[in-house]
Structure 1
Amino acid sequence: MTLKVEGDPGYGSVSAGGRFADLDSSESVPLLIPDIQQRQHVWKPLNREELLKCAGGPGWKKFRSRLVLCFWIGWLIMLGTAIAIIIQTPRMESPSLHWWQRDVFYHLQPAHFMDADGDEVSRISRVSEQLPYLKSLGVGAVILEGLFQHDISPTNLTEIDRNLGTLVQFTQFITESRKAGVRVMLDLCELDLFEQKSGNDTDVWSGPSEHIQYSLRYWLEHGVSGFGICDTDAAFSAKTLMEWNVLMQEFNSQDDERILMVRQTDNTLPALNVSSIAVNGSLVELVIKSLIPASHHPLSPTEVAEAMEASLQMPQGDWPSWTVGGGVPWELHRAILVLIMTLPGTPIIKYGDEVSLVQDLDQPYQPLALFHSLSQSRAREEALHFGRFTFLSFNASMSPSSPNSTATPPLAFLRSWGCVHFLVLFNLGSEPHTLDPDWAPSLPEGGVFVTSTGLDRLGPVSLKSIKMQPHEAIVIKLFESDNS
């Protein structure tokens, strides 16, 4: 702002050399002096050209390189920490299983397959036609019983019963079973495999002859996966088992192992006169034991429950492979099927076990669907393959719906692997049972139904609200609370 002053020419004039001699008669005087330094520090946004010029400077390049370096160092630290946590965390390593530990065995007699159509098809060929059906059930091995006549001579062990088919048909059956992924086992139980010589006062068993060795080698060359004998046979001896084991080792390979199985007829196997090193080897890979003791009459539900409880409480060393054994009431057939498929050991299913002995007119295919459900669960669940077994006992809180009833008490056990538990419950009696809310406080409270004998239980479940129906078996998958 400038103030312009115009004075009178005569006003304020002084002589030369006076005080105002240098001033013009008319001049502009600035009243406000601008702050030049403040004006220079006013912030203004950079335009595109200025921004590109500054970004390419050495300061920005140094800052960006350090920022990227800090990012990668932090990322590597997090990666190393995660790897260390994974390595130090205890893991449940799945054991390597042999094929006879994974597969479901199916025990049948070719003589049961009758020529109903009258087309003169051999029984061996009838069995061959069932291979796709057996594979659909999850069966991995077939045990053929009754293939040889009981009065067969040891020299004719390569000849099968002519009423079942020819040798050519049987070798063709082995070939087709191999293609279908089903192994074939030959049951030699109760066959006279030894030559008998007459002594002075007693009969002398000469032991396995060269003809038996030749016969076993013959079937092994044709693709048979092993043989079965009884613990009461004369062949069940340390010497014979060693000789047979050496023979089968010749045909073993990494993908095709041959085995010897023994059917146990008593509570324990007879002792073998052999060192512990040999016994702990692989003289017998598979031991089959009947879950229900043999009886001349069908057992009652109470007797079946007592037999089951005795088997479940046996010492848990090397679990045998289970088969049903004695007669079971038809109303317990499905519950026993659940038991066989969920116990430790290889399940041995007899011909017809996958279907009910007495068909339900309303649901005729229910037992077959139950077998499918159990087979699929066992195939994909590690806990049902090699999980540890825990027998669960019930106390007095487990009571039937009728106060004065003498119903059969329920049974239960647990299969566990890692954080996953399979709870298997059985009510073999004719009275419903309601579980007390505090019957198993150490178990996870919730889970999901896997299957049941009625195939009518689905979805999530709480252990505090289960009411078991008569003759029912239930399989429940439980999870730990922090992994549910």
Structure 2
Amino acid sequence: MTLNAGGPVYGSLSSPGFSHSGGGAETAPLLIPIDEEQVARQDWRPLNREQLEVVAGGPGWRKFRSYLVLLFWLTWIGILATAIAILVVAPKPVPQPLKWWQKSLFYQVQPELRLDATMEESTSLDALSEELSYLRSLGVGVLILERLFGADVSPVNISATSKGSSTLPEILCFLQESSKADLKVVLDFCDVDLLGGGVDSDESNNAIIKEALSFWLAQGVAGFAICDTDEAYSEKTLLEWRTVLKDFNAEDERILLVRQKRDTLPPLNISHSNSTLVDVVIKPILPKLPHLLSGQEVSSAIETHLYQAQRDGIWSSWMVGGKASEKLKKLLLVLLMTLPGSPSVEHDSDIDRDEGMTVCLNIELMFLIQDTKKRHLARALFSSLSQSRAREEALLYGTFTFLPFHSSNTSSNSTFPLPPPVLAFLRSWGCVHFLVLLNIGPETRALDSGWASRLPEAGVFVASTGMDRMGATSLDNLELQPHEAIVIKLFEAEAYS
């Protein structure tokens, strides 16, 4: 018998809150699901000030902050140590110590004086003594006295100890005055027959020569010069002279110079590999020809020497040698002062000493010009070049690079032959470069835009033949005037000296 027939089934709940469609009451959920994320959001509360102070002051946070501070200082010290290591390990140019003759400017003079002459009037040697301080102020460091001994002087007379020599006190006084002015003196024996008739001279003649050299060294002479065409230019003679010099090298080193007259210096059969028989070789840049050299001949001679400007173990000193036009004299002076080696400023044989000009001041370019203003500019050029060479490491130790040059003619004419080329070379030391430009031709020349693509663009003028270029410059818009030489100090980006 069915209970509750027609009514609700037993066990079912019929209330407004429950639905019982289709599946029956057993399918209805017994618990209402709870949103856990909502509950967690309702339970989270931010820390207040007191709770933050408690947490931050805990041992965990203190240890974490200590680690951060330690890591910061370790990183800073590591960066500093790395920078120091880079500076120490990185390759950098180291200047080699130079001898006094490698840093000096040689000045060649020909005093009108002979040891066996008797002169009552003042000689040019006396006049030169009065100019020693002035020469030193110009940067001159060594005086080479040429032709003090005539070609017919015997080995006995080079000691100036023969009876009747009235000029010996003048020479000794001149040596003393030179020492006071901090100028060294070198005696030139070039073209003097020191061997007295040949290489096979007797031992007594050699002893006389040694005695004469010792005499002059004892008077303070800094060295001697001979020519490569002399009979004395041999291994045997130079070894004997070197022995004499060695006895006087305790206080200050004495030197032997060789004037190169031939195209190439004759080799010496040196049997002692560790001995240096010659300290300095004076090389002429221009050949000595009977005529005045043209611009093309000057250019060819300079270019030949620029290709061979690297030293071959013997220190080189450069002099002009041959004769060029007056317009190129300043250019040649700039060349002498900027080449590797020691410049040797030679006298000009065309100077007329009887026209009111100072006797014996035969420095090229300075005393050839009568006009006061031009003479002042010539002296300023000489002084500027000598001072730059004395203080700039690039001009003393720097490497030499001959640069191929291309220029654009601002006044070109195809109907005429091309003018002499512009010559250029670089003296470099570290990140400082000295660019030397030589316009030997009679026309204005401008640099091509792409010529100096590998060189620093910015620089400052150091000197020019007209002494009219000053301040900063750029290679992009530089023009060279006829017969002009320019020295520019270039700087690499963010590098200073």
TM-score by shorter chain over 0.5: yes
Checking the alignment, whether the CA contact within 8 Å between 2:227 and 2:261 is kept in structure 1 is: yes
Equivalents in 1 of 2:370, 2:296: separation in Å?
23
Equivalents in 2 of 1:328, 1:164: separation in Å?
39
Q: State the Cα deviation string for residues 166-220 of structure 1 (Å, max 9, x = none).
A: 22232222222122211110001111111338xxxxx954475211000001111
Higher relative contact order (CA 8 A, sep 6+): 2
Aligned partner of 2:133 in structure 1 is 132
CA gap of 1:171–1:67, structure 2 versus 1, over 3 A, is farther
Q: State the Cα deviation string for residues 94-116 of structure 1 (Å, max 9, x = none).
A: 11100110010111012299xxx
Q: State the Cα deviation string for residues 321-340 of structure 1 (Å, max 9, x = none).
A: 11011111111110000000
Which stretch of structure 1 is more off in the superposition, 291-300 or 78-87? Answer: 78-87
Aligned partner of 1:289 in structure 2 is 283
Aligned partner of 2:425 in structure 1 is 413
Equivalents in 1 of 2:302, 2:156: separation in Å?
42
Checking the alignment, whether the CA contact within 8 Å between 1:289 and 1:322 is kept in structure 2 is: yes
Aligned partner of 2:398 in structure 1 is 387
Q: CA deviation at 1:125?
A: 2.4
Which stretch of structure 1 is more off in the superposition, 407-416 or 354-363? Answer: 354-363
Equivalents in 1 of 2:179, 2:80: separation in Å?
48
1:274 to 270, 279, 291: 270
Equivalents in 1 of 2:216, 2:476: separation in Å?
55
Aligned partner of 1:433 in structure 2 is 445
SS for the counterpart of 1:364 is helix
SS for the counterpart of 1:481 is coil
Which stretch of structure 1 is more off in the superposition, 166-175 or 351-360? Answer: 351-360
Equivalents in 2 of 1:434, 1:392: separation in Å?
16
SS for the counterpart of 1:157 is helix
SS for the counterpart of 2:185 is strand
SS for the counterpart of 1:450 is strand
Aligned partner of 2:384 in structure 1 is 373
Equivalents in 1 of 2:64, 2:171: separation in Å?
82
CA gap of 1:359–1:161, structure 2 versus 1, over 3 A, is farther
1:244 aligns with 2:254: no
Aligned partner of 1:364 in structure 2 is 375
Equivalents in 2 of 1:380, 1:260: separation in Å?
26
CA gap of 1:387–1:161, structure 2 versus 1, over 3 A, is farther
Equivalents in 2 of 1:305, 1:183: separation in Å?
33
Equivalents in 2 of 1:109, 1:160: separation in Å?
21
Taking every aligned residue pair, what percent have the same amino acid on both sides? 49
Q: CA deviation at 1:372?
A: 0.5
Q: State the Cα deviation string for residues 423-446 of structure 1 (Å, max 9, x = none).
A: 100111111111111123211122
1:313 corresponds to which letter in structure 2? Y
Q: State the Cα deviation string for residues 7-64 of structure 1 (Å, max 9, x = none).
A: xxxxxxxxxxxxxxxxxxxxxxxxxxxxxxxxxx998xxxxxxxxxxxxxxxxxx999
1:474 to 456, 468, 486: 486
Q: CA deviation at 1:163?
A: 12
CA gap of 1:69–1:394, structure 2 versus 1, over 3 A, is closer
CA gap of 1:282–1:274, structure 2 versus 1, over 3 A, is closer
1:226 aligns with 2:215: no
Structure 1 unaligned regions, length at least 5: 1-40, 44-61, 198-202
Checking the alignment, whether the CA contact within 8 Å between 2:329 and 2:365 is kept in structure 1 is: no
CA gap of 1:164–1:459, structure 2 versus 1, over 3 A, is farther
Matches within 5 A, 1:44-83: 77=78, 79-83=80-84
CA gap of 1:163–1:432, structure 2 versus 1, over 3 A, is farther
SS for the counterpart of 1:476 is strand
Aligned partner of 1:16 in structure 2 is none
Which stretch of structure 1 is more off in the superposition, 64-73 or 379-388? Answer: 64-73
Q: State the Cα deviation string for residues 381-419 of structure 1 (Å, max 9, x = none).
A: 111112111111224x54352232432221111111111
Aligned partner of 1:96 in structure 2 is 97
Equivalents in 2 of 1:109, 1:163: separation in Å?
23
Q: State the Cα deviation string for residues 222-241 of structure 1 (Å, max 9, x = none).
A: 11110000001111000011
Q: State the Cα deviation string for residues 243-290 of structure 1 (Å, max 9, x = none).
A: 11111111113x611000000111211122233x44x63200000111
Q: CA deviation at 1:119?
A: 9.6
Checking the alignment, whether the CA contact within 8 Å between 1:196 and 1:206 is kept in structure 2 is: no
Which stretch of structure 1 is more off in the superposition, 120-129 or 266-275? Answer: 120-129
2:391 corresponds to which letter in structure 1? R
Which stretch of structure 1 is more off in the superposition, 157-166 or 470-479? Answer: 157-166
Checking the alignment, whether the CA contact within 8 Å between 2:136 and 2:181 is kept in structure 1 is: yes
Aligned partner of 1:401 in structure 2 is 411
Q: CA deviation at 1:121?
A: 3.2
SS for the counterpart of 2:318 is strand
Equivalents in 1 of 2:363, 2:201: separation in Å?
38
CA gap of 1:311–1:478, structure 2 versus 1, over 3 A, is same
Which stretch of structure 1 is more off in the superposition, 72-81 or 119-128? Answer: 72-81
Q: CA deviation at 1:366?
A: 1.0
Equivalents in 2 of 1:42, 1:474: separation in Å?
76
Q: CA deviation at 1:360?
A: 4.6
Q: CA deviation at 1:75?
A: 6.9
1:167 corresponds to which letter in structure 2? L
Equivalents in 2 of 1:165, 1:184: separation in Å?
20
CA gap of 1:130–1:81, structure 2 versus 1, over 3 A, is same
Checking the alignment, whether the CA contact within 8 Å between 1:330 and 1:358 is kept in structure 2 is: no
Aligned partner of 2:364 in structure 1 is 353
Equivalents in 2 of 1:103, 1:352: separation in Å?
15
Aligned partner of 2:194 in structure 1 is 193
CA gap of 1:84–1:163, structure 2 versus 1, over 3 A, is farther
Q: State the Cα deviation string for residues 335-367 of structure 1 (Å, max 9, x = none).
A: 000000001111001232151524456533111
SS for the counterpart of 1:298 is coil
Matches within 5 A, 1:143-182: 143-159=144-160, 166-182=167-183
2:210 to 203, 208, 213: 213
1:348 corresponds to which letter in structure 2? S
Checking the alignment, whether the CA contact within 8 Å between 1:149 and 1:160 is kept in structure 2 is: no
The two structures have a TM-score, normalised by structure 1, of: 0.78
Aligned partner of 1:20 in structure 2 is none
Q: CA deviation at 1:463?
A: 0.8
Count of residues in Structure 1 that have an aligned counterpart in Structure 2? 421
Checking the alignment, whether the CA contact within 8 Å between 1:193 and 1:235 is kept in structure 2 is: yes
Which stretch of structure 1 is more off in the superposition, 397-406 or 151-160? Answer: 397-406
2:435 to 406, 423, 437: 423
